Structure 1
Amino acid sequence: MAGDDTSSTRWLSYEEQQAWRAYLRAHRELQVALDRDLTEFDISLPEYELLSMLSEQDGDRARMSVLADLVVQSRSRVTHTAKRLEMRGWVRREPTPEDGRGVALALTPAGRRLIESAAPTHVHSVREHFIDLMTPEQLSVLRDAFSEVRSHLVPGARPEDEIA
């Protein structure tokens, strides 16, 4: 297994360790804050993200596999999330007309109303807890840095994929 030879390990410097830990803590705390701010809508951040991505697709529908890629979750996790959303009447599963074997998720009118109601609160939360804390230069550095990380982790990903 790679990394077993500690004599060749490039340990993190103090500054690198501080940057890594700051990222981990901030990422987790940000997710908690964004999730908390959605509680008035009785929806979690992962559920909101799935509905949001679905609302941006043509016809408010997408294959489950496409949604899994968009929200960077396993297909089984997306299936579980979709089941919870379906029980609330916010989405419905449909066979894909392209091949009949796949499953698509479609936003219902109730789901559309929910995402449109929750979106202003979510955007305010993203601004309050992240965007407005940064200078334009810091945001640019973050965008470039995480684009680089994503390019390494997802070879062939196009920059426009990050916007979706």
Structure 2
Amino acid sequence: MLGIDPGSRVTGFAVVETHGGALYPVGFGVIRPAAGEMAARLAEIFAGVARVVAELRPEALAIESVFLARNAQSALKLGQARGAAICAAAQAGLPVFEYAPRAVKLAVVGSGRADKTQVQHMMRQILRIEEPLAADAADALAVAVCHSHTEQTRGYSSRRLAAAQDAAR
């Protein structure tokens, strides 16, 4: 699972795997496009995400949805960065899942209003990461963990429904 925390200046990425219900970090970091024209930064985000997909081979992309920003220009730039990341994943054939920032924080911290330091702390605890963790990489890990939890819940619910249907027959 590839988690992305999009940004036009810094885009966080993280790949996590699930084995027996436990989550393990495969790789994480940030893509920092060079300062300059927006089109060039978007191309770097696209290329960076494509490189991560090629190297770490995730099965899906989970990305934060756009939040309502106070500044329309910031929201537009964020949307463009999201688009570049989504296009790179879609070109590789990955399914794309979107999560609201509040839902991600609620899933990994227990509060939709958690701050970045709380998210960093929880990602280090949940994934047993000892080294310092950049805020954008921690946010990307949180998106991936949120999606993994969501998929596990869906799978559990589907298995319970199938078992109930079999018992009713």
TM-score (norm 2): 0.23
- Which structure carries more strand by proportion? 2
Q: Which structure is higher in RCO with an 8 Å CA cutoff and minimum separation 6? A: 2
TM-score (norm 1): 0.24
- Which structure carries more helix by proportion? 1
